[in-house]
Structure 1
Amino acid sequence: MNASSFEPAAYTAQLESKKNRLIELLTPFGAPAPEVFDSPLSHFRLRAEFRLWREDGQRHYAMFEPGDKHTPILIEDFPIASPLINELMPRLKAFWQVCDQISNRLFQVEFLTTLSGDALITLAYHRPLDDAWETAAECLAAELNVSIIGRSRGKRIVVGRDFAEEALTVAGRVYRYRQPEGAFTQPNGTVNEKMLSWAYDALGQRNDDLLELYCGNGNFTLPLSTRVRQVLATEISKSSVNAALANLANNAIDNVTLVRLSAEELTQALNEVRPFRRLAGIDLKRYDFGTVFVDPPRAGMDSDTCELTRRFERILYISCNPETLAQNIAQLNDTHRITRCALFDQFPWTHHMESGVLLERR
């Protein structure tokens, strides 16, 4: 990406194009004009992953065009990444250039940073890691003031913590999050705060309960829990469930029950198709759900889960794929109408976009 790509005029034109695409997809459903939440033009991405490429006797950060694993693009700095990633990149490179224990058979580096200034670096190797590597990694972690995770076949060594700590502000309250290595987190922290604030406002203050599907590490769960009596949240990933439980405890939130179920399994439980031991002790009938909140993967909701959401008066839907969002809305359009929608530019300088809709029963 060349410097001219970061001109404000180019960004404004691209954001307008995304807005028009979202309008096109949602117009058949009578959607109102989308609220648009822009991104910083640079230094917005909190995660980055690089392969290493050897050239002139040195290892360099490298990326590749999709489908091409043989023509590296060597990276010295990465203007879309956070200031902290750009600060750490040359310092890590200088360390591996003089430390064989760190550089030997190192083939991939992943950075995870946060708006609050924390950082976790994962180093992946084509060799077994031993005590000598761990000693060198401890020196590296101390020099860079980060946590380090080393990965090789069948082994994972943690120096420091295996998560980064984040702090996000919604409606004047600061929420603190653990973001585990390898688990999904929103890549654009600034836009994530805007997205959380929009969902918080769209939900409104309620006197009933919230069902949340695909809750991840509790990114939305924490602020939304303050708007309702109680929340039943589901997530299938063990690492995300553990992080969400820690985040609920660290933020003193006690009105959320979290169960490790997929959206499809919860649909079966609510339909009384089959019992689940993981729901033992949870009486689903005691909830008075007024709203369901969903943030599904790119494939959107499966047909059965989409039918499940139809039961609720209000559906608050965050989507990373507007095409599958439109498909799901088409299934729900006979019973629900869009009353609010939004575009969140999580991925500037790409065609990808995040969107949100509030659907209410007709």
Structure 2
Amino acid sequence: MSAVFDPSTYTQQLDAKVARLRELLAPFAAPEPAVFDSPREHYRLRAEFRLWRENEQRFYAMFAPGEKYTPILIEDFPIASQQINDLMPRLKAAWQASSALSFKLFQVEFLTTLAGDAMITLCYHRPLDEHWEAAAQQLASDLGVSIIGRSKGKRVVIGRDYAVEELQIAGRTFRYRQPEGAFTQPNGAVNQKMLNWAYEALGEREDDLLELYCGNGNFTLPLATRVRKVLATEISKTSVNAALHNLDDNAVDNVRLVRLSAEELTEALNEVRPFRRLEGIDLKSYQFASVFVDPPRAGMDPDTCELTRRFDNILYISCNPETLAANIAQLHDTHRIERCALFDQFPYTHHMESGVLLVRR
């Protein structure tokens, strides 16, 4: 847990982030950012704890950065969802009462959703046997959750290996599978605000959208309803499979998804080389006017950044405002910032999520 968690300071820390974003975007004559705040507590839908053994008992524990041997023992976790806080003592009581569950258990991961679904991953330094599986079956039933057991080279699933989320965007409910071990937005309330902002920023269009780094389809589903069709790319196989399920579950049928990195797609669009994974997809049939990007913290590499320059509209969600500013600097001669926003996904930390809509000059 962040050592500076203090709801009374929330407005002050958010104001500091807004000032920082204004400073970074000032060289590009950015408009005033829209600001989307977070719940002050119980906002984080996932949490991961090491377990610390003391007096023959195991406790939830976290460690300060760089510190391995001085645990912070945790009974509750106010930044995590109320559901995680409700499950923590019940899970602890279960492992204390069962050696099959507690023996060589070293890590616990919770994933919850705004829709009320929950999945718990239990990680072990030992093989999982039929005694563990019987105890885990009972635990899953008692807690009303899915349980994933992990040990070296083995994964046992009790229930589902994903949690189900439902998000409200522009009056429509979108349903998402969130796989165990795959990236999901941690702050569900702010994610919902972010999706609605992106939906409005893109607008209703009659041409096509290219999406890079689509993940499990978090943005793909609502944005696909704004355009004629979408070509989306993602390199993670787990995320691609989840996105395909999510498209099907929501009856979104105007998206083609390919497992390519942004760099590989750049080569394909520039006709540098063909890709077998693009067989059956006629790139020339797309009328791309907009591109949506949500890159990792390193931002877009220079070649991908140059690729986005060919689009009239660049909708960019960033988890690192410094690399966002660097990418905008590369594009500033051809594109201007029409909209920008700050999404406080990570309260009480220096991290911030931001978004810009760049349009051709």
TM-score by length of 1: 0.98
Corresponding residue of 1:252: 251
Corresponding residue of 1:231: 230
Corresponding residue of 1:23: 22
Q: Does 1:291 align with 2:320?
A: no
- Matched residue type, 1:177: Y
Corresponding residue of 1:241: 240
Cα 1:357–1:3, aligned 2, differ >3 Å: closer, same or farther? closer
- Matched residue type, 1:300: G
Deviations 1:253-303 (A, max 9, x none): 100000011111100100111110000010000000010000000000011
Structure 1 residue 46 displacement after superposition: 0.1
Deviations 1:166-221 (A, max 9, x none): 00000100000000000000000000000000000000000100000000000000
RMSD: 1.1
Secondary structure (helix, strand or coil) at the match of 2:95 reads helix
Deviations 1:285-332 (A, max 9, x none): 000001000000000001100000000000000000001000100110
Corresponding residue of 1:111: 110
CA distance in structure 1 between the partners assigned to 2:130 and 2:23 by the alignment? 58
Corresponding residue of 1:204: 203
Task: List gaps (5 residues or longer) in structure 2.
Answer: none
Q: Is the 8 A contact 2:317 2:355 kept in 1?
A: yes
Structure 1 residue 55 displacement after superposition: 1.1
Could you list the structure 1 runs, at least 4 aligned residues long, displaced by more than 2 angstroms after superposition. 1-8
CA distance in structure 2 between the partners assigned to 1:355 and 1:4 by the alignment? 22
- Matched residue type, 2:258: V
CA distance in structure 1 between the partners assigned to 2:184 and 2:236 by the alignment? 13
Give runs of aligned pairs for residues 1-362 of structure 1, distance below 5 A: 5-8=5-8, 10-362=9-361
CA distance in structure 1 between the partners assigned to 2:139 and 2:7 by the alignment? 37
Cα 1:206–1:2, aligned 2, differ >3 Å: closer, same or farther? closer
- Matched residue type, 1:156: R
Secondary structure (helix, strand or coil) at the match of 2:160 reads coil
Q: Is the 8 A contact 2:2 2:349 kept in 1?
A: no
CA distance in structure 2 between the partners assigned to 1:81 and 1:117 by the alignment? 14
Deviations 1:87-136 (A, max 9, x none): 00000000000100100000000000000000000000000111111111
CA distance in structure 1 between the partners assigned to 2:269 and 2:123 by the alignment? 42
Q: Is the 8 A contact 2:7 2:41 kept in 1?
A: no
CA distance in structure 2 between the partners assigned to 1:97 and 1:133 by the alignment? 14
Q: Is the 8 A contact 1:6 1:42 kept in 2?
A: no
- Matched residue type, 1:134: E
- Matched residue type, 1:63: M
CA distance in structure 2 between the partners assigned to 1:76 and 1:324 by the alignment? 37
Secondary structure (helix, strand or coil) at the match of 1:81 reads coil
Q: Is the 8 A contact 2:37 2:344 kept in 1?
A: yes
CA distance in structure 1 between the partners assigned to 2:275 and 2:234 by the alignment? 14
Deviations 1:217-250 (A, max 9, x none): 0000000000000000000101100000000000
CA distance in structure 1 between the partners assigned to 2:344 and 2:5 by the alignment? 16
Deviations 1:133-159 (A, max 9, x none): 111110110000000000000000000
CA distance in structure 2 between the partners assigned to 1:81 and 1:51 by the alignment? 15
Q: Is the 8 A contact 2:234 2:260 kept in 1?
A: yes
Cα 1:183–1:3, aligned 2, differ >3 Å: closer, same or farther? closer
CA distance in structure 2 between the partners assigned to 1:340 and 1:243 by the alignment? 30
Structure 1 residue 7 displacement after superposition: 3.3
Secondary structure (helix, strand or coil) at the match of 1:182 reads coil
CA distance in structure 1 between the partners assigned to 2:302 and 2:2 by the alignment? 43
Structure 1 residue 5 displacement after superposition: 4.2
CA distance in structure 1 between the partners assigned to 2:14 and 2:131 by the alignment? 49
Cα 1:135–1:271, aligned 2, differ >3 Å: closer, same or farther? same
CA distance in structure 2 between the partners assigned to 1:133 and 1:54 by the alignment? 20
- Matched residue type, 1:315: I
Q: Is the 8 A contact 2:162 2:179 kept in 1?
A: yes
Structure 1 residue 6 displacement after superposition: 2.9
Deviations 1:60-92 (A, max 9, x none): 000000110111000000000000000000000
- Matched residue type, 1:145: G
Structure 1 residue 56 displacement after superposition: 1.8
CA distance in structure 1 between the partners assigned to 2:285 and 2:228 by the alignment? 12
Cα 1:177–1:34, aligned 2, differ >3 Å: closer, same or farther? same
Structure 1 residue 4 displacement after superposition: 8.8
CA distance in structure 2 between the partners assigned to 1:7 and 1:186 by the alignment? 21
Q: Is the 8 A contact 1:53 1:62 kept in 2?
A: yes
Structure 1 residue 342 displacement after superposition: 0.1
Work out the percentage of aligned pairs sharing the same amino acid: 76
CA distance in structure 2 between the partners assigned to 1:112 and 1:149 by the alignment? 11
Cα 1:307–1:2, aligned 2, differ >3 Å: closer, same or farther? closer
- Matched residue type, 2:58: R
